[in-house]
Amino acid sequence: MIPFNKPFLTGNETKYIAEAVQSGKISGDGIFTQKCHQFFEKKYGFKKALLTTSCTDALEMAAILLDIKEGDEVIAPSYTFVSTVNAFVLRGAKIIFVDSGGENPNMNVENIEPLITKRTKVILPVHYAGIACDMDRIMALAKKHELFVVEDAAQAIDSYYKGKPLGSIGHLSCFSFHETKNIISGEGGMLAINDERFIKRAEIIREKGTNRSSFFRGEVDKYGWVDIGSSFLPSEVIAAFLFAQIENIEQIQAKRKLIWETYHQKLSAFSKGNFTLPHIPEYATNNAHMFYLVLNSLETRTKLITYLKSFDVLTVFHYLSLHKSPFYESKYNGGELKQADHYQDTLLRLPFYYSLTTNEVEFICGKINDFFKENPSLK
Ligand SMILES: *Cc1c(COP(=O)(O)O)cnc(C)c1O
């Protein structure tokens, strides 16, 4: 059986967890959390990194930090994970969904400006599959209309836009360390802050609305309730796990890129007319978060999933357009989003994880080739 995902362990996770437990400090913001913060700030140039219990929580922190209120508008893709926008809906925002582009599922930058109104506060690009959105154009629009940019970089660790790390460009950025991502801690996330104005308040929001972080640094002599907030910080057990992963980030990324290249090379040989391969624009890098195909129809995808399953290969489709979701459909009054619906129906993700072998990748690609040979009408 070739599953869709298998978490990769570097070997030091339980060792570091034991150290955290033995240190006597297992709540948040201990040594391992600090080590993780320092690593991310140094490697990716974030002004401030704050671990959170999930990317969902980091997004919720972003919405609080930007003072999102009833009636504010947030421009986000429809082809994304629920949390991208749910975090803003929780604070009363109206989501203005923008279509994906024709080349990949990222938001179509051409379509953003006509959606901007007096109520728009945020543009929320999602770097799908770790492939960068066109950030120069998004940042220019934000500047022109005085908007904030929050990057949903959940899938985008160690990926770049014109040489800049993703997550270091928007005012705020949110990462995920869920077990399906490149670098994991089971559940986990991070808020990256690139606009210094938000640092102090972010620490408060993350610590239940208290100035506990300042207190522990000796900046105030007692701590109390100073703002709204919640408990967004992970325990040291999670941070210890994560540290074992980030110590091996180079090795993890090198292996994932090799798997990605193998898929790309094998599938290129017979993709023509059958499916399209991921498009990586010139300004973007590939962090090998996932490997997907875009098929010609829903029927082809459904049959290919069943075909591969009969050989014990598990492949999965991805998002359902959020503007048509049971929760948001009645609230949505924008136009058709044809590309989002297209990816909803035709995008297929192939098994992708560290321990996937070259033989397994070749086997999967061979079966995809067989499928199209056996079903010429499904091209
Ligand atoms: C995984 C993911 C999230 C949510 O991450 P969690 O850490 O599970 O909360 C949000 N947005 C995108 C695009 C994701 O891929």
Separation CA 164–CA 144 (nearest Å): 22
Separation CA 171–CA 147 (nearest Å): 10
CA gyration radius for the chain? 21
Ligand 1, pocket-test mutation among 89, 178, 289, 343, most atoms within 8 A of CB: 178
| Residue 125: pLDDT over 80 | yes
| pLDDT, position 281 | 97
For the beta carbon of residue 312, count every other beta carbon within 10 angstroms: 10
Cα 354 to the chain's mean position, in Å? 18
Q: Which runs of consecutive H residues, i.e. helices, occur in 160-233?
A: 199-206, 212-216
| Residue 211: pLDDT over 80 | yes
| pLDDT, position 332 | 96
Residues 6+ apart with CB under 8 A from 240: 13, 16, 17, 19, 20, 32
Q: Is 32 in the pocket of ligand 1 (CB under 6 A)?
A: no
Confidence band (pLDDT; 50, 70, 90) for 204?
A: very high
CATH 3.40.640.10 positions along the chain are: 13-246
| pLDDT, position 275 | 97
Cα 373 to the chain's mean position, in Å? 35
Confidence band (pLDDT; 50, 70, 90) for 242?
A: very high
User: Using one digit for the tens of pLDDT, what is the confidence trace for 50-108?
Assistant: 999 999 999 999 999 999 999 999 999 999 999 999 999 999 999 999 999 999 999 99
Separation CA 56–CA 61 (nearest Å): 9
| pLDDT, position 278 | 95
| pLDDT, position 230 | 98
User: Using one digit for the tens of pLDDT, what is the confidence trace for 259-283?
Assistant: 999 999 999 999 999 999 999 999 9
| pLDDT, position 378 | 83
Which among 242, 282, 34, 262 is positioned nearest to 157, based on CA atoms? 242
Residue 279 carries which side chain, given as an amino acid letter? Answer: H
| Residue 344: pLDDT over 90 | yes
**Ligand 1 center–CA 110 separation, angstroms:** 25
CATH 3.90.1150.10 positions along the chain are: 249-378
Among the atoms of ligand 1, which is closest to the Cα of residue 128?
Answer: 13
DSSP 294-311: EES-HHHHHHHHHHHHTT
Mean pLDDT of 342-371: 98
| Residue 6: pLDDT over 80 | yes
Mean pLDDT of 182-207: 98
Mean pLDDT score of the chain: 97
Q: Is 236 in the pocket of ligand 1 (CB under 6 A)?
A: no
Q: Is 152 in the pocket of ligand 1 (CB under 6 A)?
A: yes
Which among 61, 92, 95, 90 is positioned nearest to 77, based on CA atoms? 95
CB-CB contact of 53 with 188 (8 Å): yes
Separation CA 51–CA 206 (nearest Å): 9
Cα 282 to the chain's mean position, in Å? 20
Q: Please say whether the dihedral angle defined by the alpha carbons of residues 45, 151, 141 and 344, taken in this order, is positive or negative.
A: positive
Q: Is 123 in the pocket of ligand 1 (CB under 6 A)?
A: no
CATH architecture of 249-378: Alpha-Beta Complex (3.90)
DSSP letter for 132, please: P
User: Using one digit for the tens of pLDDT, what is the confidence trace for 38-60?
Assistant: 999 999 999 999 999 999 999 99
Among the atoms of ligand 1, which is closest to the Cα of residue 181?
Answer: 1
User: Using one digit for the tens of pLDDT, what is the confidence trace for 277-318?
Assistant: 999 999 999 999 999 999 999 999 999 999 999 999 999 999
| pLDDT, position 377 | 85
CATH number for the segment(s) 13-246: 3.40.640.10
| Residue 379: pLDDT over 80 | no
For the beta carbon of residue 154, count every other beta carbon within 10 angstroms: 31
Q: Phi-psi category of 284—alpha, beta or left, where left has phi over 0 and alpha has psi -120 to 50? A: beta
**Ligand 1 center–CA 124 separation, angstroms:** 13
Residue 98 carries which side chain, given as an amino acid letter? Answer: V
Q: Phi-psi category of 359—alpha, beta or left, where left has phi over 0 and alpha has psi -120 to 50? A: alpha
| pLDDT, position 15 | 98
